[in-house]
């Protein structure tokens, strides 16, 4: 996949919840710097659980994860902003937690805010932002730490289609600039194919990786790619794999 | 004449401003207009109630000393300097006791709520006692407090604290645990300490609820100050003692009503003041409809 060492490596991950639910079974794959891997599957198949295990929010019941947890980039399903902080305050919060000095923090935050296109909204509170802007703010917050790995837990599920496509394109632009390893979770096949270097298909509970596709399109990817016949063919193939895994 | 469409009427009679029936604040309206819309309705209602008061005073009760008409109350209680001075003194003493009591109750309540938020064990241990304390009739406590302490400021402050304490604890605790689970995860991912979690997440998240509790307690604290003063009946004279004094004397029924009106005005002032403080602290970011702008 990648010539550099893996930023994240799952080895035989299994997860059984205390109530006996087997969420994940025997998941092994790795993501290197420069990779953008997306796991697709319907809701409830354990995709989010996988991210929680990778980030250390959950401990797996079997298997092991190799990852540097010092600076993890994690974009949640919801914007999860602090309503009492302005955009700038929200974007600065992680640098604050990592005790980055004030001036440097300011610069990191401003860079991230510019990167996601929220310039001019620094002093706004979340309550006055649209759903898409809140998501951008959340993205900017994660970028301040320059994380070697970025995880996305269906981050654009709650915004409308047009905003979602914009956010996809912007996330890719940032991916090319910042050179992180990406692990993305979604239930949208077109989003998965558009964003990724690689798409992994997850089965129904207990979640297993049942198919693994290389996405051959070069970056930067234009929005027009979505109408490319090859794009459609690959999407179709992934769709069939998904159906096969969820009878 | 046929009934015209209401919108046509509005357009035709353009100088007449058509009122919307809702009380929702429209940002396009001028500031003066918005203030007027908030102030005028209660004033009209007060005027109506004063009318009812006159009606009862003259038509129903008839004997003046049973229910003095409003102008007697104003004449005796507010326009005679000696009487008004006495009431103002009482008001000042009551305010002082209520303010000290509320401050102590606030500090104590927030500290206990924070402790409860940090440990389930503490919460389980303390909560039933708080409910018991809240349910205990304050009137039964008053004589005991008088025996244990003195009948001056200390005891009155204690009554205030007991009565004002519960809403702040309950609301603050509710606010502390209301922070979004995702934000807790975010702090966990970045190795936040317990103290950082409290300072950077739980305390700010608790502010809107804390202020809601404080606003309720501010009013209760005034009641506490008056009740304590009423029963102890000694020491520096507050509104409570005045109410007791005036009610024992048939010639001073106007003054009794004046003192009651004064305590009501104090209640309104306190309520408005804490509303303003709340707006100043959390108004910028807190969206009361969505619970905080997520």
Task: For residue A1, give how far its alpha carbon lies from the nearest alpha carbon of chain B (Å).
Answer: 27
**Partner-chain contact B292 A97, CB within 8 Å:** no
**Partner-chain contact B189 A57, CB within 8 Å:** yes
Residues of A in contact with B189 (CB under 8 A): 55-57, 72, 74
**Encoding tokens for residue A21?**
């639910």
**Encoding tokens for residue A246?**
């969820």
Q: What average pLDDT does the structure give for chain B?
A: 84
Query: What is the predicted pLDDT for the residue at A20?
Result: 87
Query: What is the predicted pLDDT for the residue at B26?
Result: 58
Query: What is the predicted pLDDT for the residue at A38?
Result: 95
Comparing C-alpha atoms, which of A179, A58, A95 is closest to residue B190? A95
| Nearest-angstrom CA–CA distance, B229 and B238 | 6
Contacts for B116 with CB less than 8 Å, ≥ 6 apart: B122, B123, B126, B127, B169, B173
Buried b (16+ CB within 10 A) or exposed e, B21-45: eeeeeeeeeeeeeeeeeeeeeeeee
Please identify every stretch of chain A with a pLDDT value under 70, giving residue numbers as ranges. 1-4, 247
Task: For residue B214, give how far its alpha carbon lies from the nearest alpha carbon of chain A (Å).
Answer: 19
Q: Which of B188, B191, B285 sits opposite A83 (nearest CB)?
A: B285
What is the 8-class DSSP label of residue B287?
A: -
Query: What is the predicted pLDDT for the residue at A58?
Result: 92
**Partner-chain contact A76 B186, CB within 8 Å:** yes
**Partner-chain contact A76 B204, CB within 8 Å:** no
Query: What is the predicted pLDDT for the residue at A3?
Result: 44
pLDDT in tens, B273-290: 998 998 888 988 887 654
Query: What is the predicted pLDDT for the residue at B221?
Result: 93
User: Residue A213: what are its φ and ψ, rounded to 5°?
Assistant: -115, 135
**Partner-chain contact A127 B182, CB within 8 Å:** no
A95 touching chain B per CB within 8 A: no
pLDDT in tens, A96-152: 999 999 999 999 999 999 988 899 999 999 999 998 899 999 999 999 988 999 999
**Encoding tokens for residue B285?**
């970011």
Contacting A with CB below 8 Å, chain B residues are 180, 182-183, 185-192, 196, 200-201, 204-205, 207, 282, 284-287, 290, 292-294
Query: What is the predicted pLDDT for the residue at B151?
Result: 65
Residue of B nearest to A141 (CA): B186
Contact call for residues A215 and A222 (beta carbons, < 8 A):
no
Task: For residue A163, give how far its alpha carbon lies from the nearest alpha carbon of chain B (Å).
Answer: 18
Query: What is the predicted pLDDT for the residue at B140?
Result: 82
Range from A3-12, A57-66, B1-10, B35-44 carrying the lowest mean pLDDT: B1-10
Q: What is the mean pLDDT of residues B127-156?
A: 83
| Nearest-angstrom CA–CA distance, B132 and B130 | 5
**Partner-chain contact A97 B286, CB within 8 Å:** no
Q: B292 pLDDT exceeds 60? A: no
Q: Which of A127, A142, A144, A145 to mutate to test the interface with B (most CBs of B within 10 A)?
A: A127
Query: What is the predicted pLDDT for the residue at B123?
Result: 92
SS3 B32: helix
ipTM score of complex = 0.91
| Nearest-angstrom CA–CA distance, B65 and B286 | 51
Buried b (16+ CB within 10 A) or exposed e, A132-167: bbbbbbbbbbbbbbebbbbbbbbbbbebeeebbbbb
Residues of A in contact with B282 (CB under 8 A): 84
Q: What is the mean pLDDT of residues B25-29?
A: 63
Q: If pLDDT is split at 50, 70 and 90, which confidence band does B25 have?
A: low
Contact call for residues B118 and B108 (beta carbons, < 8 A):
no
Q: Which of B194, B289, B293 to mutate to test the interface with A (most CBs of A within 10 A)?
A: B293
pLDDT in tens, B68-95: 888 888 888 888 888 899 999 999 999 9
A130 touching chain B per CB within 8 A: no
Contacts for A44 with CB less than 8 Å, ≥ 6 apart: A205
Q: Which of A55, A82, A127 sits opposite B189 (nearest CB)?
A: A55
Q: What is the mean pLDDT of residues B114-139?
A: 89
**Partner-chain contact A78 B185, CB within 8 Å:** no
Residues 173-202 in A contacting B (C-alpha not used; CB under 8 Å): none
The answer, as to whether pTM is greater than 0.80, is yes
DSSP states of chain A as a string? --SSPEEEEEEEEEEE-TTS-EEEEEEEEEEETT-EEEEE--TTSSHHHHHHHHHTSS--SEEEEEE--SSEEEE-SS----TTS-HHHHHHHHHHHTT--HHHHHHHHHHHHHHTT-TT-TT--GGGS-HHHHHHHHHHHHHTT--SEEEEESTTTTS-HHHHHHHHHHHHHHHHHH--EEEEEES-HHHHHHH-SEEEEE-SSSB-EEEEEE--PPSSPPGGGGG-HHHHHHHHHHHHHHHHH--
| Nearest-angstrom CA–CA distance, A42 and B188 | 27
A97 touching chain B per CB within 8 A: yes
**Partner-chain contact A82 B183, CB within 8 Å:** yes
Residue of A nearest to B292 (CA): A83
A78 touching chain B per CB within 8 A: yes
**Partner-chain contact A76 B182, CB within 8 Å:** yes
| Nearest-angstrom CA–CA distance, B49 and A33 | 76
**Partner-chain contact A126 B191, CB within 8 Å:** no
| Nearest-angstrom CA–CA distance, A160 and A117 | 18
Q: B170 pLDDT exceeds 90? A: yes
Distances from the Cα of B27 to the Cα of A65, B33, B39, B282, angstroms: 54, 10, 17, 19
Residues of A in contact with B284 (CB under 8 A): 125
Distances from the Cα of A226 to the Cα of A157, A191, A193, A220, A229, angstroms: 18, 9, 9, 13, 9
pLDDT in tens, B200-231: 999 999 999 999 999 999 999 999 999 888 88
Residue bearing tokens 């005045």: B242
Query: What is the predicted pLDDT for the residue at A43?
Result: 78
């Amino acid at each position: 996949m990648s010539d550099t060492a893996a930023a994240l490596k799952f080895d035989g991950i299994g997860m059984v919840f205390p109530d006996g639910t087997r969420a994940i079974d025997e998941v092994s794959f790795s993501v290197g710097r420069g990779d953008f891997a997306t796991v697709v599957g319907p809701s409830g198949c354990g995709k989010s659980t996988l991210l929680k295990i990778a980030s250390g929010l959950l401990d797996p019941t079997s298997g092991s994860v190799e990852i540097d947890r010092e600076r993890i980039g994690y974009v949640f399903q919801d914007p999860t902003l602090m309503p009492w902080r302005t955009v700038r305050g929200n974007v600065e919060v992680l640098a604050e937690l990592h005790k980055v000095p004030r001036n440097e923090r300011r610069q990191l935050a401003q860079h991230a805010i510019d990167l996601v296109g929220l310039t001019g909204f620094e002093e706004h509170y979340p309550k006055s932002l649209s759903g898409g802007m809140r998501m951008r703010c959340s993205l900017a917050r994660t970028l301040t730490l320059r994380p070697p790995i970025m995880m996305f837990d269906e981050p654009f599920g709650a915004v409308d289609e047009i905003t979602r496509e914009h956010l996809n394109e912007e996330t890719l632009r940032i991916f090319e600039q910042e050179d992180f390893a990406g692990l993305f979770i979604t239930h949208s096949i077109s989003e998965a194919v558009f964003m990724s270097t690689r798409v992994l298909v997850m089965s129904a509970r207990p979640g297993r990786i049942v198919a693994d596709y290389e996405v051959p399109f070069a970056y930067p990817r234009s929005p027009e790619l979505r109408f490319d016949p090859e794009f459609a063919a690959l999407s179709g193939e992934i769709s069939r794999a998904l159906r096969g895994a969820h009878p | 004449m046929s009934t015209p469409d209401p919108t046509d009427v509005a357009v035709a009679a353009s100088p007449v401003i058509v009122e919307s029936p809702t009380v929702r604040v429209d940002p396009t309206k001028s500031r003066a207009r918005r203030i007027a819309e908030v102030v005028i309705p209660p004033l009209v209602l007060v005027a109506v109630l004063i009318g009812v008061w006159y009606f009862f005073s003259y038509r129903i009760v008839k004997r003046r000393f049973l229910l003095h008409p409003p102008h007697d109350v104003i004449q005796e209680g507010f326009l005679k300097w000696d009487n008004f001075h006495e009431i103002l003194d009482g008001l000042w003493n009551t305010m002082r006791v209520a303010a000290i009591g509320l401050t102590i109750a606030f500090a104590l309540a927030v500290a206990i709520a924070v402790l409860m938020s940090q440990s389930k064990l503490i919460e389980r241990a303390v909560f039933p006692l708080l409910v018991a304390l809240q349910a205990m009739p304050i009137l039964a406590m008053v004589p005991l407090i008088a025996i244990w302490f003195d009948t001056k400021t200390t005891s009155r402050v204690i009554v205030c604290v007991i009565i004002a304490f519960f809403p702040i604890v309950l609301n603050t605790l509710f606010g502390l645990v209301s922070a979004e689970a995702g934000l807790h995860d975010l702090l966990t991912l970045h190795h936040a300490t317990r103290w950082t979690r409290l300072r950077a997440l739980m305390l700010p998240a608790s502010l809107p609820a804390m202020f809601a509790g404080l606003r309720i307690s501010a009013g209760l604290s005034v009641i506490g100050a008056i009740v304590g003063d009423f029963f102890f009946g000694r020491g520096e004279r507050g509104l409570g003692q005045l109410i007791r004094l005036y009610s024992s004397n048939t010639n001073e029924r106007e003054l009794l009503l004046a003192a009651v009106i004064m305590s009501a005005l104090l209640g309104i002032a306190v309520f408005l003041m804490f509303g303003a403080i709340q707006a100043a602290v959390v108004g910028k970011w807190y969206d009361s409809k969505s619970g905080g702008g997520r």
